[in-house]
Structure 1
Amino acid sequence: MECLPLSRDDVATLTHHFAVITRKIPLHPIADDAQYEAAIEAMNGLIDAGAGDDCHALAPLLGLLGVFIADYEDAALPRPDVPPAEVVRLLMDQHGLKQGDLPEIGSQGVVSELLSGKRELNKNQIARLSERFGVSPATFF
């Protein structure tokens, strides 16, 4: 996209439109939980309007808002560093499962090796566990 010089009229028009947009969509770094909630609400509205499609005219706006949301989450909501084996153990406990109840990982022996730290999950196992338990694959990283 070619950027052209801005006239005073262009700046005035852009200022007006930016003010209108930012009343609905926070286009700045998020500073607190209230701004975060407003940003999430705006993001959901954009997604509902179809902006999740890369061809949609508002897709770049959704992308920018997503960056602000991710930055806030990274800073304000640090994720604990939990080994994948502990995540699997927690999910097993929550669902009342035994080692033999996880064919997504493999045999009971394979599950045992994973839980003892002798083996790591591969991406196919992660994908199947993610689907089974309805969690993001990132949960296992």
Structure 2
Amino acid sequence: MTLTFNPEKYKELLTAYLPKLIKSEVENEQALGIVEDLMHRERTPEEDELYQLLITLIEKFEQEYYQLTQQNNPLSMLLFILKESEISRDDLVALLGTEDLLDNILNGQEKINTEQARKLGDFFNVESSLFME
């Protein structure tokens, strides 16, 4: 059985959540909370549409906000993504090669090279340029 999109149910969701352009970190956190709730359940087509809309709004805000507040600091970006994800240290060691290399990168003693940035970008599903100066 194929689920069909119901415009009336979608209208109800839009009315309940009132999605709009995100202009502050507080609004971003609220949108992230809704997305996280929707992420961990079986979504109706209408909920999936709302989910996709919120993700788009969050990405737009974060691209603009974090681009302005950070002068492309690869180390702080890596630390931020690590803090927000459930990735273990062992996962990064396996990705980058050695524990010493990871320690040097995380301590700021070694810069992330182009190949490592590509691997990190692929791994975290983000632009590799976030990890390059």
Q: TM-score, normalised by structure 1?
A: 0.45
The structure showing larger relative contact order (alpha-carbon pairs under 8 Å, at least 6 residues apart) is: 2
Pick the structure with more helix per residue. 2
Q: TM-score, normalised by structure 2?
A: 0.47
Structure with max Cα Rg? 1
